[in-house]
Structure 1
Amino acid sequence: MMKTLAPAGAMALALSTTAAMATVERSPQSMAILFEPGRYFELGISNVNPKVSGTVGGGALGSGDMTRSYQSLSFGMKMPITPDLDVALIIDEPIGADLLYPTGTGYPLAGSNAEINSVGVTGVLRYRFNENMSAYGGLRAVRTNGEVELFTPSFTYRMSVDDDVAFGWLLGAAYELPQYAARVAVTYNSRLKHNFDASEALTTGLGTMSQDTAFSTIIPESVNIEAQTGIAADTLLMGGIRWVKWTDFDITPPLYESVTGGTLVSYRTEAVVYSIGIGRRFNENWSGALMASYQTDGFTPTSNLGPTDGQRSIGVAVTYTQDNIKVTGGLRYIDLGDATTVPPIGGQFNDNHAIAAGLRIGYTF
């Protein structure tokens, strides 16, 4: 039964692209690749097109769409070392941001922009004690850089951050009942601490202050619970819970803090994402899945660089399998929660959304 339902279970991968605009997260850190049979390789690409706009002054001034579409690439390979020991390598983009407030709108932040880029490399070993129990662990390295320009009524601020590599680890365990295509996997991901070198410049009516500086930022710890079970012939129920301690994340450069007394980006609460879906195998080649997710809110007031709070989504995916190749395509609509940004801007961001599309190619050899 597990072999029969495996293509349907893979649907969740195409729908896992994160579009959580309330945070900078881009990857859900799934360990699903560990449970692919034999030697396995996969390549994924996703495109997220968010539409986020707000107003100030009771709707008198509009920001225009301040988000830009972005693409994410991922790569994974899993291989057996012995009958009971597997190794996997995963390359993804753990965090990111890409935004630009349009010019000419009259909005207080018009022209402001920010970008965060990252690449993560994760190596994992999984040991099977028997057909039911297994444990796994690994190391992760993430390289991150970024830049920001803020144009406000009272000051202009620019910062460029050099590349920094941070290291962390993960530990997990899984319980399986192969005869029912059932599996529960729990993964803990440690936090990663970046120590950035940066260049800052802040201009007011009194002149410009600039300096080379250094500060720390933490990519927070998280826990993933991923589950699936067969509920009928060729039908799979799947879901998950992801908790992230976003209260540990902030970007607070020294010059910016000394002049403004605040942070560039910080989060008021932790986040939990719940997901549930159903997969169905139609014939030897075709499978399909429907999934829905909900992310808790509580970030309001938010940073002006991430003005949404929570989200709800619904997605669909289709997999075509031929011999040892499977191709999965997914489409997801995300309803981004309303938010108010921090003073003194106090923008009202309502009725925003994003559309995410993903394509994943898997090869068993």
Structure 2
Amino acid sequence: MNASHQVQGVPSTQGGLARPVILLLAVCSGLSVANVYYAHPLLDSIAHDFQIAPASIGIVVTVTQIFYAAGLLLLVPMGDLLNRRKLIAIQMLLSVVALLTVAVSSSVPVLFTGIAIVGLLAVVAQTMVAAAAAFSAPSDRGRTVGLVTSGIVIGILLARTVAGTLNDWLGWRSVYLFSASLTLLGSIALYLLLPKQESKRTGIGYVRIVLSVFQLYRDLPILRIRALLAMLIFAAFSILWTAMVLPLSSAPLSLSHTAIGAFGLAGAAGALAASFSGRLADLGYARRVSGISLAILLIAWVPIGLLYRSIGFLVIGVILLDLAVQAVHVTNQSLIYRARPEAQSRLTAAYMIFYSIGSAAGSIASTGVYAWAGWRGVCWLGAAVSGLALLLWAYDSFLKMKETDNVCG
């Protein structure tokens, strides 16, 4: 991209995207991924409205996650094949239709069809991350990706708070109407503000570009290591956020759903605090940032484990955990995008598939462990997964040091 390029009258910075456009991408990516998580606090209301048995309503979340995982493989790689500006706008417009379908649904088949398409198209958030990396100057790529990724993490954390509040005021359908309205505005804004010119697209077809996602695992050791780290850190993330509602809503704490949702604000503060990690990655400190952040992730389970002594300890732990997860996540993406700049959408898909696996595994494991061993068991599980991530980083660092010594020798 030409260093003097301007985006619809907004001057670009250092040959990349203008800061207002980066912030718009962050907001829209957070809004898009939040669509996957809105249903969590709405399950009771949806079950009552459609007369679905409480034991079966959890399928709403399962369907959303399954189709989100499918979208990572089938839709995100298209960013290396098609014009990203148009692709993002079209996917967001289709999301508006899906959200409205959910909002006005009057039967279970229509509800589940809408929910499935919402999950499938929510991966546009990852297309935005790849676009942010592609449109950025190499020297600013980590910072830009960090800001956009912060929007995604904050969207995940605040989705439950927003959905719970709107549900209490206006009913569960208002959540999807609200999201549809903002998504429509976001699609128009991004279409107008994202750069029209892009680098030359790859010449291979759709099927080959999807299959090439798996070839990236074979060709890029950095992708294999960083994808495994993503799986572990987001497993730890899900272990906390899935199980946390159980002790908070039960005696002796017995907090309201609104109060529980407010913990998302603490998590968002931690995610925002980690946005500087992308800049450090740009400066060459990616490995050090990863190690320090993974150590913080492990330490965070100490105050989290002290929940019953004081909720304040949990707040501290939530901030530390989300800071650490976000810092490693941004650093991971910064490193893999350097490896193959022409395949950023496929790299995003390959990386985020492991994120999805970790998130699902953490959610399933945390509820089972809580039923078996209570909150203490959940904390030990989270600490074990976090410790494994730190050991993986240490092992990879050891191998890199040996390679360096062999070259120097």
Q: TM-score, normalised by structure 1?
A: 0.24
The structure with more strand, counted as a fraction of residues: 1
User: Considering only CA atoms, is the larger Rg found in Structure 1 or Structure 2?
Assistant: 1
Q: Which fold has the larger relative contact order, with Cα–Cα distance below 8 Å and residues 6 or more apart in sequence?
A: 2
